[in-house]
Each structure stands twice: as structure tokens, then as C-alpha cells.
């Protein structure tokens, strides 16, 4: 609140300076406001702070948002960050304080505490791991700063206003149900699976692992191994190189819990002369369905890619606008997602007893993807 009063006083001072300045050509440009200084905006940009007609904040001042992002580990993460930076721009009436926490949970907690010290208006968190949050969320609550969670979930506290993201267990179930239908259609009776998991402790990893394993156990498949590739291409390659040595000739399915791991796994299988994809010995399944991932689905290198939609920011802005107008936003907002495949031998699958469409990847779909 102190920050807000300071900004208003600075703005009043600025307007006074500009009024004085208009009467004389020699007046220096108004001193940068606190926001300008922080946003490293050039001193000659007073109009950058001019209240926008449709600025969501009362009184025209920018809404300050602290965003503690997981890191920069994948194409998905890049799209998630861009979505927030595009929506929460100064032109749209926001002052976004962005911190890339580089997959470091301690760093992420520090970032949130810094936002509290800065007395931001809202805090957005994409939690690297799903536990260890209740204390810092209590501190946000005591400071009167609403918290919005995006993407991954927090499992040990509900001290946040809303969560906007995906159902990761459903993604894992969908991958399992597709594999069941696909192996039946291809008359593949024996299914021996190697899994490359995402970052340990991330709810995306937990959910996808749980969902796929539920189907594997039901169908009697063998999961030979399941190790973390940390959602990175390097991690996927390292794990797959090890798998190719330890399980040579014993596996016919590889499940990568994101596209970047799949890119690395493909490099490793190629180097080990293991064929994969629609015309290969190994069925390759991925998650995220980023543009590059869908290109590999269309080429037949990846058999199926289960989308996780990173474009949460517009829905987060809806939450903020609801709060700004004194309303109560939904506690949970789920993103719409698609299941992408190369071949059109199946039109749909049953997930949780509900028929869900499969989408054959086309160039138009790739051109429109994130």
C-alpha cells in the first residue's frame, strides 16, 4: 500500500512538473517515476505511465504483478512466459515483475518474499514442486496480496485465490488409453515401456506418471524403468542413452513426459540404431504438443502427443479483473487441450468413461500452435 501512495504522489509531482514544463522550453524532463525506474523505462517516457482508458486499475496507475516462473527448461515454458509477458504488459495497464527461478525451489520462495516486500498488487506462481508452500502463502495472506497459481498445482495449501492449469492425471490416462487402442489396432500383444519422467516433485510429473501407470497396471503392461529427464532435451537424451544400453531389444514403447525430453530421446535412439515412430520398432509418446513436437508427430517420428496448454495468462487476467471489480473468481480454471496423433486409424478414445477426440496433425494445426 505504501508503494501505491508513493506512486500516486510521484504521478501528481510529475503532472505538476509537466504543467510547469509546458510553460518553458528549458524545463528538464520530469524525473522517472518509481515504476519507470524499476521498469528501466527511459526517462522521457512519462506518457508510458499515462493512465490507459481501459487500464484495469482504478485511478489509472499500473497494477503491479510479481510472477515467479519455474524456469526456462522447455519450449512449453517459453510459451508460458511469453503468454504472461504479452498479457501483463505496461500497455495493458500492468507492471510485471518477472523472476525466472531456474528450477530452484528455494529461489522461488525468495522471489515470492521479495514480491511481498515490494507490496505488489498480485502474485502469480507456477510452483516448481507441489509441496512446501503453506508458510509463504500465509505470509502473502497476511500482507493482503492475492495469489494466483498457474499450471502446476500446490498440494499442501489452499491459500490462493485461483489456479489455472491442466489435469495432468487425465493427460497420463489419455496417453495410456490411446496406447491400449493403438496396440490393439496394430495387433501388438506385448507392451514393454520405458518412461522418461519430468522434474521430480512437479505435479505435472506426478499426474502423468499416475495416470499412465493406472492404465499400464490395468492392461498388464510392463514398465521396465521410469527415470527423470527433468523436462529438458539434455535430460531426455541422457536417460535414453542409458536405457538403450540397459534395455537393448527389450522395449517397444517410450513415454517422454514432455516434448523436449522426446527430442533428446530421439537423438539417443538414432545414435543407438533404434528405430522409432510410426514406421519404427518403438512407439514414441510425448506430452505438451508444442509446435516442434507436432512437427515430429506429422513426420511420424512421434506417434502421439498429449497437449498441455501453456497459454494461461488471459484466464489469469480474467481472475484479476474479477477481483478488481470486487467479484469472486472460480477457484479452478481448466485449460482446453487436444490429443494429437499421426495416423487416423482411431477417431477417439475413452478417458474416465468419456469419449475424447483424437486429432490428426496437419500443417494448419502446426501453424496455429504455440
The contact set with ligand GZL (CB under 6 A) reads: 73-74, 76-77, 151-152, 166, 204, 231, 258, 287-288, 308
Residues 6+ apart with CB under 8 A from 203: 127, 130, 152, 153, 155, 168
Which of 320, 330, 331 lies closest to 65 in space, CA to CA?
Answer: 320
Nearer to ligand GZL, 94 or 231 (CB): 231
Under 8 Å between Cβ of 308 and 279:
no
CB of 115 to ligand GZL, least distance (A): 20
Coil, strand, or helix at residue 296? helix
CB of 166 to ligand GZL, least distance (A): 6
Nearer to ligand GZL, 64 or 74 (CB): 74
CB of 73 to ligand GZL, least distance (A): 5
CB of 204 to ligand GZL, least distance (A): 4
Coil, strand, or helix at residue 95? strand
Nearer to ligand GZL, 88 or 287 (CB): 287
Nearer to ligand GZL, 76 or 122 (CB): 76
CB of 251 to ligand GZL, least distance (A): 22
CB of 304 to ligand GZL, least distance (A): 15
CB of 69 to ligand GZL, least distance (A): 10
Q: Is 227 left (phi over 0), alpha (psi -120 to 50) or beta?
A: beta
CA angle 130, 136, 142 (to 5 degrees): 135
Nearer to ligand GZL, 63 or 129 (CB): 129
Residues 6+ apart with CB under 8 A from 105: 128, 129, 132
| 213 CA to centre of own chain | 23
Coil, strand, or helix at residue 75? helix
HSE (CB half, 13 Å, CA atoms) of 126?
27
Nearer to ligand GZL, 97 or 167 (CB): 167
HEC readout, 78-94: HHHHHHHHHHCCCCCCE
Amino acid at each position: 500500500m505504501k508503494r501505491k501512495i508513493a506512486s500516486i504522489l510521484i504521478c501528481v509531482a510529475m503532472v505538476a512538473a509537466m504543467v510547469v514544463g509546458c510553460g518553458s522550453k528549458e524545463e528538464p524532463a520530469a524525473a522517472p517515476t518509481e515504476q519507470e525506474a524499476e521498469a528501466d523505462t527511459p526517462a522521457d517516457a512519462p506518457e508510458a505511465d499515462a493512465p490507459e482508458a481501459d487500464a484495469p486499475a482504478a485511478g489509472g496507475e499500473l497494477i503491479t504483478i510479481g510472477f515467479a516462473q519455474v524456469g526456462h527448461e522447455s519450449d512449453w515454458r517459453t510459451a508460458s512466459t511469453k503468454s504472461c509477458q504479452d498479457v501483463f504488459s505496461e500497455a495493458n495497464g500492468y507492471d510485471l515483475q518477472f523472476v525466472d527461478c531456474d528450477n530452484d525451489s528455494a529461489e522461488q520462495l525468495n522471489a515470492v518474499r521479495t514480491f511481498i516486500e515490494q507490496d505488489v498488487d498480485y502474485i502469480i506462481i507456477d510452483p516448481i514442486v507441489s509441496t512446501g508452500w503453506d508458510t509463504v502463502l500465509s505470509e502473502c495472506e497476511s500482507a493482503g496480496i492475492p495469489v494466483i497459481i498457474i499450471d502446476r498445482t500446490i498440494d499442501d495449501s489452499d491459500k490462493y485465490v485461483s489456479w489455472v492449469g491442466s489435469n495432468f492425471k487425465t493427460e497420463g490416462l489419455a496417453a495410456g488409453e490411446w496406447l491400449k487402442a493403438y496396440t490393439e489396432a496394430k495387433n501388438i500383444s506385448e507392451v514393454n515401456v520405458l518412461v522418461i519422467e519430468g522434474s521430480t516433485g512437479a505435479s505435472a510429473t506426478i499426474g502423468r506418471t499416475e495416470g499412465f501407470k493406472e492404465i499400464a497396471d490395468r492392461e498388464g503392461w510392463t514398465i521396465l524403468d521410469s527415470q527423470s529427464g527433468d523436462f529438458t532435451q539434455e535430460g531426455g537424451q541422457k536417460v535414453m542413452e542409458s536405457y538403450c544400453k540397459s534395455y537393448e531389444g527389450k522395449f517397444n514403447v517410450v513415454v517422454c513426459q514432455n516434448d523436449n525430453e522426446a527430442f533428446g530421446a530421439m537423438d539417443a535412439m538414432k545414435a543407438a540404431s533404434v528405430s522409432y515412430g510410426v514406421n519404427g520398432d518403438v512407439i514414441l509418446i510425448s506430452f505438451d504438443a508444442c509446435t516442434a513436437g507436432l512437427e515430429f508427430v506429422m513426420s511420424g517420428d512421434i506417434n502421439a502427443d498429449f497437449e498441455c496448454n501453456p497459454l494461461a495468462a488471459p484466464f489469469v487476467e480474467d481472475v484479476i479483473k474479477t477481483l478488481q471489480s470486487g467479484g469472486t473468481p472460480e477457484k479452478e480454471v481448466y485449460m482446453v487441450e487436444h490429443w494429437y496423433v499421426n495416423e487416423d486409424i482411431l477417431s477417439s478414445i475413452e478417458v474416465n468413461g468419456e469419449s475424447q477426440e483424437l486429432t490428426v496433425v496437419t500443417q494448419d494445426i502446426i501453424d496455429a500452435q504455440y
